[in-house]
Chains A and B, each alone.
Chain A
Amino acid sequence: MKKVYERNNIAFDMPSPYCPGCGHGVIHRLVIDAIKEAGQEDNTIFMAPVGCSILAYTYLDLDICQPAHGRTPAAATGIKRALPDSLVVLYQGDGDLAAIGTAEIIHAANRGENITAIFVNNAIYGMTGGQMAPTTLKGQKATTCPFGRSPEDGQGYPIRVCELLQSLGGVTYAARTSVHTAPNVLKTKKAIQTGIENQMEKKGFSIIEILSACPVNWGLSPQKSNEFIANEMIGYFPLGDFKKDGKIIQRSDH
C-alpha cells in the first residue's frame, strides 16, 4: 500500500502541546502544509502571539518571533520591511488580535503591509482560563461573565473582525472559515494558500479568520464543541470570502 497522507515534518516529532480536540493543532498543520507546498519552509518567519499558540515555538521547526502581547502586526511590519523577500505569517488569537492588539492589526491592514494574518477565533481567552473575549457570543458563559455575555449590561457585542477590516483600503483578501468538519478544514487550507500566494505576489494584506474550538474552556467535549461552532458561532460569524483581490464581496447575510 502507498502512503497517501503523512505527517508534515515541519512539526517536531512530539505530541502537539495543545489540549485534546483543540483547533490550534489542525490550523498549525494547515499553515505548515501551505508553507511547505509553497516551498518556503526555509524562508518563513512565523509570528507567534501571546496566548495558547505561543507554544508553536516548541512545536514548529520554523524561524519564530514572539513579540509583546498584541504587537505581532507591528513587529511583522518591521520584519517584512527589513526582509521583503521572506514570507511573514502572523498567527494570532482573538485575545491578541481583537482585544489588546486592535490598534496594531487595523493600522497594519490599513497600510496594506504585505503580510498574511491567520486569526484564530475561539470566542474565549484560552490560556488564562476561559475569560470573556471580544468575540465571545451573546449569552455565552465565561468565567468573567458567568451568567452569559450580555451587551445590555455593558459587556459589549462580539466583534466581527473580517467585516471590520474589509473596508480598509490596504486589505487584499479577507475570509472567514472554520475547522469544525473535514470539508471546512479543506476550505480553510485553500484560504490559507490564497493568503500566502497573495503575499508572494506582493498583493498586500491578507487575513484569514478561522473559527476554532476550545473544548476545555467551553466545558464541552470535542464533538460537542464542533457542534457549537456549527449551531451557534456560524450564525453570528458567517463563513466565506469578504474581500478578494481588493474588491469587497457583497453578501446578503448581514
Chain B
Amino acid sequence: MVKKGKIEVRIEHCKGCGLCLTTCKLNAIALSTADVTNSSGYPYVIMINENCTGCTMCAIMCPDQAIDVYREQEHS
C-alpha cells in the first residue's frame, strides 16, 4: 500500500517561488491565489490533493526551509 504523507508549511517563511511544485510528481501542492498571501505579500504553498506520499522532495527543493514533511509509519 502507498504510504500517506502530508506537509506543513511555515506560511510566513514561504516566498511563493514555486520550486516545490516543479518537483512534485503527484500535483499534491499548489500556490495560493494572488489574493491569499502572507504578511510579506507572497502567495504560499498549500496542499490541494490528499495523495501526498511524504517523499520529501518538495522540502529538499525549498530554498526557505518552509516545508516540514510527515509520513505515515507502518504498524506491526
Task: Mark A residues whose CB is within 8 Å of B.
Answer: 1-8, 11, 14-16, 18-26, 29, 181-182, 185-186, 215, 221-223, 226
Partner of A1, one of B60, B62, B65, B73: B73
Contact bitstring B30-48, A, C-beta under 8 A = 1, else 0: 0000000000101000000
Which of the residues B6, B56, B63, B67 comes within 8 Å of A22, measured between beta carbons? B63
Report how many A-B pairs have Cβ atoms within 8 Å.
86
- B interface list, Cβ under 8 A from A: 4-6, 10, 12-13, 15-19, 22-23, 40, 42, 54, 56-57, 59-65, 67-73
Q: Is there an interface contact between A4 and B54, defined as CB atoms closer than 8 Å?
A: yes
With A and B bound together, what is the CA distance between A23 and B72 in angstroms? 30
Q: In whole Å, how far is A241's beta carbon from the nearest beta carbon of chain B?
A: 21
Does more than half of chain A's interface fall in helix, strand or loop, or is it mixed?
A: mixed
Instruction: Please report the C-alpha to C-alpha distance between residue A212 and residue B72 in the assembled complex, in whole angstroms.
Output: 33
In the bound assembly, the distance between CA atoms of A1 and B54 in angstroms comes to: 10
CB pair B64–A3 under 8 Å, yes or no, is: no
In the complex, are the beta carbons of A222 and B19 less than 8 A apart? yes
A56 to chain B, nearest CB (A): 14
